[in-house]
Amino acid sequence: MTPDTAHTRPEHELLREQVARFLAREVEPHAAAWEEAGCVPREVLRKLGAAGLLGLAHAPDHGGAGADALTNLVFAEALSQSTFAGFVITVLVHTDMASPHLQHAGTPAQLARWMPGITRGETITAVGITEPGAGSDVAGLRTTARRGRDAQGDHWVLNGRKLFITNGVHGDLYFIAARTGEARHDISMFIVEKGAPGFSVGRSLDKTGWRCSDTAELLFDDCRIPADQLLGEEGQGFRSVMANFQTERIALGAMAVGHCQQALRLTLEQVRSREAFGATLWDKQTIRQRLAMLDAKTRAARSYLYHCAWLVDQGLDSSAVSQDVSLLKALTGELAGEVLHTCQQFHGGMGYMRGTPIERLWRDARILSIGGGATEVMLDDAARRY
């Protein structure tokens, strides 16, 4: 086996093997049906939880493993060897994009109440930041939260709409960003349980790719939650959203790199066996060279990915790693598009057929340069830090 990156350790190989076995047994043979159904069965998430894979980076006292960012990255990259990115994002939103909000800002009581269910896969989480009028521009969000007090006690009342929320339909616990003051960055985070009065799931959204990942619109109409479901300090939500973006973007980078690796593997098999003009496609120099160049770019992006996780593990403040993470997100999102376009090209007409892994990966890759920070926004963020 080729030696791995400078940063990986022997135990990481065991984790990769564990995840590969899980994919081969529990995901790849079944997920075509999940794509039709538009969601990943809860049972599969519970099995991931039972295998100890839903709380790798969370604290051990609530069922997590207390692993470092590198180990967490190994998990995300291994999971992204699946040809069903909708399954991968369902899991990674729960582990790397939503629940870290609770892990980083939760009070001991909040952690004790919700984290065990999260790591077991019984409580599935979602994060609601994007709105119809505000995506890239997080500080433009308009959902409001007003503090109140009455005979039933101290509480918050939320009003507004969230859009494009992954795990929105089938989730149980939502971390919601809402405006708590007039200043542009006066935003706070809240914990909203499914079933809270005034909270409802609107449309389930129909997407180009990530078909087995559920994506929803969330509605807050005088949604009342107890005062102790403020997450973190009032007014610090913008800061915590920006800090959590580092974890989220490394996970999205891992998805991009994992899917590039898988697509190149599938394409190598295809061009070695497919014959045209009296020889295999692999015998055409142009095909060999283009695949080799895409492999070089994928390997380079992977090294940068591991470097970013290593930076996080040095205990630096999130602002100290954000330039690298923004560059990584831009690079990997664009690379996934380039690799999947060419890999699909080399599959010929079959690569355009619904249900083939390469067609699905191509559709699924499109969002990687938009979601979680569009390429232009990432490049601008990095450039402003030069």
In the block, residue with structure tokens 């394409």: 267
Q: Distance between CA 225 and CA 162 in Å, rounded?
A: 17
Helix or strand (DSSP H, E) at 333? helix 318-346
Taking the least distance from each CB to ligand FAD, the nearer of 127 and 287 is 127
Taking the least distance from each CB to ligand FAD, the nearer of 215 and 298 is 215
Q: Distance between CA 266 and CA 93 in Å, rounded?
A: 26
377 near ligand FAD (CB under 6 A)? yes
127 near ligand FAD (CB under 6 A)? yes
**Residue of 70, 165, 330, 343 interacting with ligand FAD (CB under 6 A):** 165
166 near ligand FAD (CB under 6 A)? yes
Find the shortest distance in angstroms from Cβ 260 to ligand FAD. Answer: 19
Taking the least distance from each CB to ligand FAD, the nearer of 106 and 171 is 171
Find the shortest distance in angstroms from Cβ 17 to ligand FAD. Answer: 30
Active-site annotation holds for 275: no
Catalytic pick among 35, 217, 248, 334: 248
Residue 131 near residue 144 (C-beta atoms within 8 A): no
Q: Which long-range contacts (CB under 8 A, 24 or more apart) does 197-202 make?
A: 197/223, 197/224, 198/157, 198/158, 198/222, 198/223, 198/224, 199/158, 199/174, 199/223, 201/168, 201/169, 202/161
- C-alpha dihedral, 353 to 358 to 361 to 367, nearest 10°: -70
The burial class, CB within 10 Å (0-12 / 13-18 / 19+), for 349 is exposed
Write the CA distances from 211 to 24, 37, 222, 246, 364, integer angstroms.
19, 8, 32, 25, 8
**Size of site (CB under 6 A) for ligand FAD:** 22
**φ, ψ dihedrals at 353, nearest 5°:** -90, 130
Q: Which range of residues in 15-23, 147-155, 261-269, 374-382 is near ligand FAD by CB under 6 A?
A: 374-382
**Residue of 74, 78, 93, 102 interacting with ligand FAD (CB under 6 A):** 93
207 near ligand FAD (CB under 6 A)? yes
Which 3 state secondary structure label does DSSP give 117?
helix
Taking the least distance from each CB to ligand FAD, the nearer of 26 and 193 is 193
**Residue of 129, 176, 266, 321 interacting with ligand FAD (CB under 6 A):** 129
Find the shortest distance in angstroms from Cβ 168 to ligand FAD. Answer: 7
Residue 65 near residue 48 (C-beta atoms within 8 A): no
51 near ligand FAD (CB under 6 A)? no
E strand spans, the chain: 125-128, 144-150, 153-166, 173-179, 187-193, 199-204, 215-226, 230-231, 275-276, 279-280
**Residue of 367, 368, 378, 382 interacting with ligand FAD (CB under 6 A):** 367
Find the shortest distance in angstroms from Cβ 58 to ligand FAD. Answer: 19
Q: Which range of residues in 59-67, 99-107, 120-128, 303-311 is near ligand FAD by CB under 6 A?
A: 120-128
376 near ligand FAD (CB under 6 A)? yes
Residues that bind ligand FAD (CB under 6 A): 93, 126-130, 135-136, 164-166, 207, 210, 215, 367, 370-372, 374, 376-377, 380
Tell me the catalytic residues. Answer: 248
